[in-house]
Amino acid sequence: MGKKVFTDEEMEMLRNNPYTYSVTPSTLYFTKEFKELFWQEYQKGEVPRQILDKYGYPADVLGKKRIWGIAHNIKDQYYSEEGLREGSLKRGASVNSSYEATEEAVKQLQDEVRQLRQEIERMKKESSAQ
C-alpha cells in the first residue's frame, strides 16, 4: 500500500501550519526553518513522530511511511552539497531548468487555449450557418 493521501480538510490544516512550505494530496513540503528544527531535535535523540507532532504535524494525518520518509529526506538534504532548503529539489534539477520548463509549459498551454478558442469560434460559425 502506498502513502496516505491527504483529504481536503487535512491539506487545509497542513497549509495553515507555519512550517509548511506547500502541500498536495500526496506530498508535504516543509520550510527550511522546520527542517533545521527537526534536525536539531533529531540529533538530540528525539523520535521523528514526536518532533512532527510537537510542531503541529499529527502522526495519524501523516502516516507511518511518510514519517519515516520525512526523517530520511531531511537527513539526505542535511548531508547534501546544497544542504537544507525550502520545499524540495529533484536530483539533477536546477532552479533555472525548472523555471524554463515551467515557462515552456505555460507557452504550450497558451497555444493550446488559443487553438481551442479558434476551434470553438469555427464551430459556432458552422452551427449558425445551418
> pLDDT per residue over 33-55, tens digit each?
999 999 999 999 999 999 999 99
CB distance 87 to 27 below 8 Å: no
For the entire predicted model, the pTM comes to: 0.66
Identify the pLDDT of residue 2.
65
Q: What's the angle, vertex CA 92, arms to CA 90 and CA 93, rounded to 5?
A: 60
Type and span of the H or E element at 95: helix 95-129
What ranges do the domains of the chain cover? 1-89, 93-130
Ordered alpha helix ranges (H), 16-94: 32-43, 48-54, 59-62, 64-79
Identify the pLDDT of residue 1.
53
Which residue, 48, 39, 40, 12, is CA-closest to 28?
12
Identify the pLDDT of residue 99.
56
Q: Quick one: cell of 99?
A: 523555471
Each of the 130 residues of the chain gets a pLDDT tens digit; together they read 567 899 999 999 999 999 999 999 999 999 999 999 999 999 999 999 999 999 999 999 999 999 999 999 999 999 998 899 988 755 444 445 455 567 777 777 787 778 888 888 888 888 887 7
Identify the pLDDT of residue 129.
79
CA distances from 105 to 86, 108, 110 (A): 23, 5, 9
